[in-house]
Chains A and B, each alone.
Chain A
Amino acid sequence: SQTIHQWPATLVQPVGSPLSLECTVEGTSNPNLYWYRQAAGRGLQLLFYSVGIGQISSEVPQNLSASRPQDRQFILSSKKLLLSDSGFYLCAWSLVITDTQYFGPGTRLTVL
């Protein structure tokens, strides 16, 4: 069966510091991968998606970036965090041939 992991689970960072959130998927090959941000427990905003290694599409202009160095690894980064980057970050995966997405446990990011 497939599983998806995210770490860290929680993170508190000062404004201007860098960020690296990691997501890995087990039990499947060549998944589509997604990064979402959720504010105040409502509404999921798609940030990035990837259909393969090194292939990243950005949905929203911002100071975040994403990378996919391996087939089942997806990383969300920032060089300098802003207060507005605080939120709950979710990674998700889907099989290429379906639209059904499965979410990871999330990372709670607080920027102070």
Chain B
Amino acid sequence: GQQLNQSPQSMFIQEGEDVSMNCTSSSIFNTWLWYKQEPGEGPVLLIALYKAGELTSNGRLTAQFGITRKDSFLNISASIPSDVGIYFCAGHPGGTSYGKLTFGQGTILTVHP
């Protein structure tokens, strides 16, 4: 089956630093999604990407849908303490899979003030 490799598994950074994380797939996806999850809460959608090469921003967050359709990255600029959480990528191959997503294992982000 499809697998998503998300890296890094964890990051410890200083406030103000930029962050970059990525996901790679063994097969082609038609949709890439990035979520953030805080302790005890459900994942919140940050950015959705629907087209190869698409670059989308949401405030200090920027994500790109890779040209090969097998990867995506998420950048966070000028990190702040409230960026702490687990970031998940998710992908969907399209077709008739009824929206079943494949998730990465998550990147745990810690920001030191």
Residues of A within 8 A of B (CB): 6, 32, 34, 41-44, 46, 49, 51, 57, 59, 90, 92, 94, 98-106, 108
**In the complex the two chains form, is A49's CB within 8 Å of B98's CB?**
yes
Chain A residues whose CB sits within 8 angstroms of the CB of B33 once the complex forms: 99-101
Chain B residues whose CB sits within 8 angstroms of the CB of A92 once the complex forms: 42
Stretch at the interface among B13-21, B43-51, B53-61, B76-84: B43-51
Pairs across A and B, CB under 8 Å, 25 listed? A34-B99, A41-B37, A43-B105, A43-B106, A44-B43, A44-B103, A49-B99, A51-B98, A98-B31, A99-B30, A99-B31, A99-B92, A99-B94, A99-B99, A100-B31, A100-B33, A100-B48, A101-B33, A101-B45, A101-B99, A101-B101, A103-B35, A103-B43, A103-B45, A105-B41
With a 10 A CB-CB cut-off, give which of A51, A99, A101 has the most chain B CB atoms: A99
**In the complex the two chains form, is A102's CB within 8 Å of B45's CB?**
yes
Chain B residues whose CB sits within 8 angstroms of the CB of A41 once the complex forms: 37, 39, 86, 106
Chain A residues whose CB sits within 8 angstroms of the CB of B44 once the complex forms: 103
> Using a Cβ–Cβ cut-off of 8 Å, how many residues does chain B contribute to the interface with A?
25
A108–B86 CA distance with the chains assembled, in angstroms: 17
CB distance from A37 to the nearest CB of B (A): 12
CB distance from A103 to the nearest CB of B (A): 4
A99–B32 CA distance with the chains assembled, in angstroms: 9
The 4 A-B residue pairs with the shortest CB-CB distance, nearest first, are: A103-B42, A99-B92, A99-B31, A94-B99
Chain B residues whose CB sits within 8 angstroms of the CB of A34 once the complex forms: 99
Chain B residue with Cβ nearest A91: B42
Chain A residues whose CB sits within 8 angstroms of the CB of B100 once the complex forms: 46, 49, 59
Chain A residues whose CB sits within 8 angstroms of the CB of B41 once the complex forms: 105-106
